[in-house]
Structure 1
Amino acid sequence: MGKTSKDKRDIYYRKAKEEGWRARSAFKLLQIDTECHIFDGVSKAVDLCAAPGSWSQVLARKLNENYKKALETGNASPPKIVAVDLQAMAPLEGVIQLQGDITNTNTAQQIIAHFDNTQADLVVCDGAPDVTGLHDMDIFIQSQLLLAALNITTHILRPGGTFVAKIFRAKDVSFLYAQLRIFFPYVYCTKPSSSRNSSIEAFVVCKDYSPPEGYKPHMLNPLLTHEPCNFEELTGVNRIIVPFVVCGDLNQPDSDMCYPLNLDGKKYKYHEPVQTPIAPPYAEALSLLENRRAGSSFTFDHETEFNETDINIAIENGASSMAEFKKNALITATENNSEDSDAIAKTESIKDENKEEEATIAALQNLYVSEEAGNIDNILI
Structure 2
Amino acid sequence: MAYDEIEMAVRRSRDKRDVFYRLAKEQGWRARSAFKLLQIDEEFRIFSKVTHVVDLCAAPGSWSQVLERKIGRVNPPGKARIVAVDLQQMAPIPGVVQLQGDITKKKTADAIKKELGGQLAQLVVCDGAPDVTGLHDMDEYMQDQLILAALNISTELLAPGGAFVAKMFKARDIDFMYSQMKLFFRSVTCTKPRSSRSSSNEHFIVCLDYKPLEGYQGMAEDLKPGDELSALTKFVYSGDLSGFDQII
Coarse TM-score class (shorter-chain normalised): 0.7 to 0.9
The 5 A counterparts of 1:83-94 are 83-94=84-95
Which residue in the other structure is 1:185 paired with? Answer: 186
Aligned match of 2:34 in 26, 30, 37?
26
Contact 2:20-2:195 at 8 Å conserved across structures: yes
Q: Which residue of 2 aligns with 1:15?
A: 23
1:218 shift after superposition: 2.5
Q: CA contact under 8 A between 2:72 and 2:82: conserved in structure 1?
A: no
Deviation sequence 1:311-340 (CA, Å, 0-9, x none): xxxxxxxxxxxxxxxxxxxxxxxxxxxxxx
Matches within 5 A, 1:154-303: 154-219=155-220, 224-226=223-225
SS at match of 1:66: coil
- 3-state secondary structure, aligned to 2:74: helix
Change (3 A) 1:7 1:113: same
Structural RMSD (CA): 2.2
Query: Quick one: distance in 1 between partners of 2:71 and 2:50?
Result: 7
Secondary structure of the 1:55 match is helix
Q: Report if the CA contact (8 A) 1:161-1:208 is conserved.
A: yes
TM superposition shift of 1:7: 5.6
Task: Give TM-score, length-normalised by structure 1.
Answer: 0.56
Query: Is the CA contact (8 Å cut-off) linking 1:128 and 1:145 kept in structure 2?
Result: yes
Residue 52 in structure 1 maps to residue 56 in structure 2: no
8 Å CA contact 2:89, 2:100 repeated in 1: yes
Provide the rounded CA distance (Å) in 2 between the counterparts of 1:144 and 1:164: 15
- In structure 2, the partner of 1:279 is none
SS of 1:153's partner is helix
Write the letter of the residue equivalent to 2:24: A
The offset of 1:116, in angstroms, is: 1.8
Name the counterpart of 1:343. none
Q: Secondary structure, in 3 states, of the residue corresponding to 2:196?
A: coil
> Helix, strand or coil for the counterpart of 2:215?
coil
Structure 2 spans left out of the alignment, 5+ residues: 1-8, 233-248
Structure with greater Cα Rg: 1
- For the residues of structure 2 that align with 1:228 and 1:35, how far apart are their CA atoms? 36
Distance of 1:105 and 1:181 partners within structure 2? 23
SS of 2:159's partner is strand
AA matched with 1:173: I
Q: Tell me the CA shift for residue 227 of structure 1.
A: 8.2
Letter in 2 for 1:85: D
The answer to whether the Cα contact below 8 Å between 1:103 and 1:219 also exists between their aligned partners in 2 is: no
Contact 1:43 1:66 in 2 (8 A): no
C-alpha distance in 1, partners of 2:202/2:15? 22
Q: Is the 8 A contact 1:168 1:202 kept in 2?
A: yes
TM-score, length basis structure 2: 0.84
Q: Which residue of 1 aligns with 2:43?
A: 35
Asked which structure has the greater RCO (Cα within 8 Å, sep 6+), the reply is 2
- The amino acid of 2:168's aligned partner reads I
* Count of aligned pairs: 224
Report the residue type matching 1:201 in the other structure.
E
Code of the aligned partner of 1:205: V
Match of 1:102? 103
| Equivalent position amino acid for 2:224 in 1 | T
| Distance across 2 between alignment mates of 1:152 and 1:79 | 21
5 Å matches for 1:127-146? 127-146=128-147
